[in-house]
Chain A
Amino acid sequence: MGKIKIKIDYSICGDGNKIDPRDCTICLKVCDPAIFLLHQSIKYQKEDDPYDPKIWRVTPVYPSLCILCMKCVEQCPENAIKIRN
């Protein structure tokens, strides 16, 4: 089996765009192997409030553990996740 590639469209979700992943967290919650990581966008760190950062994004940090259940793709309200096997 090839590498699983999970792409999140950051122009829709995270990085201070349309959706703040901290309000949604649907993909994080439906993922049983918990492969996603919700974290501060490092790029914007300096301009941000350092102790309570406001700009966050979701990164698929362990794609190798993905079981291709596709729950995150189906349940993402903005269709921002794409998985390619």
Chain B
Amino acid sequence: MCDHCLKHGTAGKWYLNAKLYSEELAKELDLKEFMLEQYKTFEAMQVRNFGGFSAVGMGYKMQLPIISRIVKYTAEKMLHTEKPSRNPFKAEGHIGQVVPLDDAIAILETCVPEDSLIMKYCMCRYMHKGEKEACCINFGIMSEIIDKLPRFIPEPEDSKYRLTKEEAIEKFTEFNKKGYIGTIWYGAYPYINNLCACQTPMCAGFRPRTEFGIKSIFKAEYVVENNPNNCQGCKKCITMCQFGAIDFDEKAKRALIDQSKCYGCGNCLLACRFEALNLVARKEIPALAGNY
């Protein structure tokens, strides 16, 4: 548990605090205008210059010895900012965390305001892969402004776009079974407004972290643990892991988990038929505690 959760969370987790989802908070911060402005050209965010840098050619910038540190510092400062002054063209305060299925269901059941659940096309998949897939669950202000942003509204054959809580939970479970990673995001700190089902390498939230080591997303509060007595060596979990955290031990015929690589999304659990995998709290493992 880090300072952030102590400050904002209930039950030790920032995303289980219903206050951060409330309409009052959004009104107080006047986020409606801000988000409309931001989502108007959301896809262009990565090519804009800020503080002298844009994400274009990021890999080469990160190979330079001093500049890479400046880029990393500037990017993390922008993403982790808690300041109220905002520029809608920057991803200021747009930070998220991986959530396993159980926590996502808890969010949908207890925290999300009533009648404001919507499903929209994933921007990341569209801007990086040209694919339109309805798999982002949004709530709160987004449900009010979505009508102005027609390119995010799913076609009727893809998905219904206003959802009830039960439908949202059902959809989210479906995504998890497909192998998508649940992530919860600050719309702009401290207001939470979307629950995504992400996939690498398209996800613009994961990519800076997996490829360039910039903390654009936090790992979950959990890590996966393997029970060697139950593992039958079917290798099903290995294909589910998007981070290469699961390996196979040919001699012992069981899965080996590299917990330092594990993001704690819990998708491998859904693939396991023998109840060999389970999630344990990250803070209980001394070497990983605080390593979000």
* Residues of chain A having any CB pair with chain B under 8 Å: 3, 22, 25, 28-29, 31, 33-34, 36-40, 42, 45, 50-53, 59, 61-65
Question: Which of B149, B202, B207 is in CB contact (< 8 Å) with A51?
Answer: B149
Q: Find chain A residues with CB under 8 A from B51 CB.
A: none
In the assembled complex, the Cα of A74 lies from the Cα of B129 at a distance in Å of 17
Q: How large is the interface on B (under 10, 10 to 19, 20 to 34, 35 or more residues)?
A: 20 to 34
CB distance from B214 to the nearest CB of A (A): 13
Residue in chain A with minimal CB distance to B131: A29
Tell me, yes or no, whether B261 is within 8 Å of chain A by CB.
no
Contact with A along B149-161 (1 / 0, CB 8 A): 1110000000000
Residues of B within 8 A of A64 (CB): 57-60, 62-63
Task: Name the one of B41, B47, B58, B201 contacting A59, with C-beta atoms under 8 angstroms.
Answer: B47
Q: Do the beta carbons of B59 and A63 come within 8 Å of each other? A: yes
A51 touching B40, Cβ below 8 Å:
yes
- Judged by a CB distance under 8 angstroms, whether B242 is at the interface is no
Is B55's CB under 8 angstroms from A61's CB?
yes
- B49-80: which residues lie under 8 A (CB-CB) from chain A? 55-60, 62-63
Quick one: which of A39, A53, A65 has the most chain B CB within 10 A? A39
User: Which of B46, B60, B63, B150 is in CB contact (< 8 Å) with A37?
Assistant: B46
> A28-B128, A33-B201, A50-B40 known; A61 and B46 CB under 8 Å?
yes
Are B60 and A3 in contact, with the CB atoms below 8 A? Answer: yes
Q: Nearest Cβ in chain A — how far from B152, in angstroms? A: 10
With an 8 A cutoff between CB atoms, is B289 at the interface? no
Does any Cβ of A come within 8 Å of B148's Cβ? yes
Say yes or no: B150 contacts A52, CB within 8 Å. Answer: yes
In the complex, chain B residues 186-202 whose Cβ is within 8 Å of any chain A Cβ: 201-202
Contacts of A31 in B (CB 8 A): 129
CB of B151 within 8 A of CB of A52, answer: yes
Contacts of B172-218 to chain A: CB distance below 8 A:
201-202, 207, 211
A65 touches B59 (CB 8 A): yes
A34-B41 contact, Cβ under 8 Å, with A59-B47, A59-B56, A64-B60: no
Q: List 11 A-B contacts (CB under 8 A).
A: A28-B130, A29-B129, A34-B128, A37-B46, A39-B43, A39-B44, A61-B55, A61-B56, A61-B57, A61-B58, A62-B59
